[in-house]
Chains A and B, each alone.
Chain A
Amino acid sequence: MADPKITLEQVLHVAKLARLALSDEEARQMQAQLDAILGYMDGLGELDVSDVPPTFHSIPMDAPLRRDVPERCADRAETLAQAPASEAGGYAVPLVLEADG
């Protein structure tokens, strides 16, 4: 059997980058599925595109700035109402720095 396109170790590394918790079973299944997909994508290997510029934007256009006129932004209470937790007019988030003393 050929080497896998992606190993279980790589899957776990990518899951960490993507901030996704995977169970052992999920990681094994993900490895098998991504391996099949990446194996199919090997077909791109037949093309030499080293001289071809990439197309990041399909339709050439400038990215114009909108006119700088003041507008009402979203209502704070309405926006915060969607937060899992809010406090004192802001988002309440888990502690990321240790309190000093």
Chain B
Amino acid sequence: MSDFPWQSAFEIREQVAAGKVTAVEVARAYLARAEALNPTLCCFVTIDHEGALAAAAQVDRMRGAGEALGALAGVPIAVKDNLCTRGVRTTCASKILGDYIPPYDAHVVQALRASGAVILGKTNLDEFAMGSSNENSAFAIVHNPWALDRAPGGSSGGSASATAAGLAPFALGSDTGGSVRQPAAFCGITAIKPTYGRVSRYGLVAFASSLDQVGPMARSVREAALLLEVVAGHDGRDATSAERETGSYLAACDRGVKGLRVGVVRDLIAGLQDQNVRVATESALSALEKEGATLVDVSLPHAKHAVSVYYLIATAEASSNLARFDGIRYGLRVPGDDLTETYMRTRAEGFGPEVRRRIMLGTYALSAGYYDAFYLKAQRVRTLIRRDYDRAFESCDVVCTPTTPTPAFALGEKTGDPLEMYLADIFTLPPSLAGLPAVSTPCGLSSGGLPIGIQLVAAPFEEELLCSVAQAVERECGLMGSRPPAIG
């Protein structure tokens, strides 16, 4: 295998299809690397040797028999551990699901299997995808391969760390308020949060149902585009799955940005405290202009309320969704004297501090006497945020901001103050609340050598536009083959 472990998904598939290497050899090499580096990075909760080798052997058999190979034949992939995998433990990094083995596959997992992808294992996350640093995992804290004392971001921190460190060419994550984009920015990779409804949520353990989407995470825009093509599409098992044709995301990467209008949210960029992020964002914008895009100023006057709106709506939905964890049908049960006490003890022992905090906040926001003042008000302000984007898209094709206000913060830096952690999500929350597709792709390194990401947001179902613009950013100011220095 040439260039292991940094070869692309395209190269791996090509080598497997041409018989230059077997899928089993590829799987063995990546499994060995995951085994070797997981004690340092803690990005996998479960490494599935048996399943990975069986899937790889199946690809080799099909090739031997001359059968047509899928788009990801023989390509290793890591899958976030809140996506159900039949027969393989799916924990959501929670004690309450510590031993849970789903009896079915998520839609996106079925799509991966059908494409010939080789699932290496399940990646670590903030418990139930609630967090921005991956420090809320019940099992282990994930480390950022660019600097081991830095957060990988969250909640898809395991998928981001694994991809950035060459433990897999790409991974699936899930994004509710930035959970693929923010870790992608922190770990120097690309991630796409599709339009709400673009990818089926069937088998994604629900956090906030009006916001959750599964998204691809990869070391290049092209690979993220390829993975999106594989997992997108209508699925009757998710009532919110859109009946839309899947786009040509890969082809869109080659379209360029000539004539496209890039909306720049000037006041947000001018307000950045972090000079590194500001400079990297400005230089990416200049590069896009040089490539033929037109920059136009736009504003999102209500974006500053996104943290309040999101942490009311998402927690309200979470408090309702997580009511199902009651110690009766699956997962942990801590018996009490009666049924109520069984519920209360099971949930107190099964959920970690952040999940409990969000259930409490959401229950409060929905409770009698507070519903109008908190939950309903948040849903009304959400409309204003949506209208901000509607107005912006009258004069531009994509809206650009940084993905995060700073590069990766230190592990432990924000754990003492939940509110401070929430405020770090300020740029990724508005498009989530509006249901819009968004991509984060690297646009440079800080003076301290940490990756910086730029976020591009488009109108509903315009993921192709995101691929065109992100590819131009990657070409002009991507990380150009820089590797995370903290791992071998």
Contacts and interface: CB of A to CB of B under 8 A. Distances in A.
Given A37-B419, A83-B330, A57 B210 contact: yes
A85 B361 CA distance: 31
A81 B329 CA distance: 10
B308 A44 contact: yes
B307 interface: yes
Contacts of A94: 335-336, 338-339, 342
Nearest to B380: A49
Contacts, number: 162
B435 A19 contact: no
A20 B355 CA distance: 11
Contacts of B196: 58-59
Contact of A84 (B211, B327, B359): B327
B340 interface: yes
B379 A55 contact: yes
A17 B328 contact: no
B379 A93 contact: no
Interface in B432-460: 433-436, 460
B33 interface: no
Nearest to A17: B363
A37 B383 contact: no
Interface stretch (B51-59, B169-177, B223-231, B343-351): B343-351
A47 B381 contact: yes
- The residue in A49, A63, A81 that gathers the most chain B C-beta atoms within 10 A of its C-beta is A49
Given A61-B242, A64-B243, A20 B351 contact: yes
Interface in B88-137: 100-104
Contact of A47 (B102, B237, B305): B305
Contacts of B363: 14, 17-18
A57 B335 CA distance: 38
Interface string B298-334: 0000101101110110000001000100111111110
B319 A18 contact: yes
A34 interface: yes
Nearest to B242: A61
Contacts of B356: 20, 22, 26, 30
A94 B335 CA distance: 8
Interface string B225-259: 00000000000110110110000000000000000
Contacts of A79: 103
Interface in B194-214: 195-197, 210-211
A26 B100 CA distance: 27
A41 B210 contact: no
Contacts of A18: 319, 347, 359-360, 363
A40 B329 contact: no
A85 B331 CA distance: 10
Contacts of A19: 323, 326, 340, 343-344, 347
B328 A55 contact: no
Interface string A67-97: 1000000110011011111000001011110
Nearest to A93: B328
A58 B100 contact: no
Contacts of A15: 360
Given A91-B329, A94-B342, 9 more contacts: A17-B367, A21-B348, A36-B419, A37-B422, A40-B307, A52-B384, A53-B380, A54-B380, A55-B380
The 5 closest A-B pairs by CB, nearest first: A58-B435, A54-B379, A66-B236, A84-B333, A49-B380
Interface of B: 100-104, 195-197, 210-211, 236-237, 239-240, 242-243, 302, 304-305, 307-309, 311-312, 319, 323, 326-333, 335-336, 338-340, 342-345, 347-348, 351, 356-357, 359-361, 363-364, 367, 374, 376-384, 386, 417-419, 422, 433-436, 460
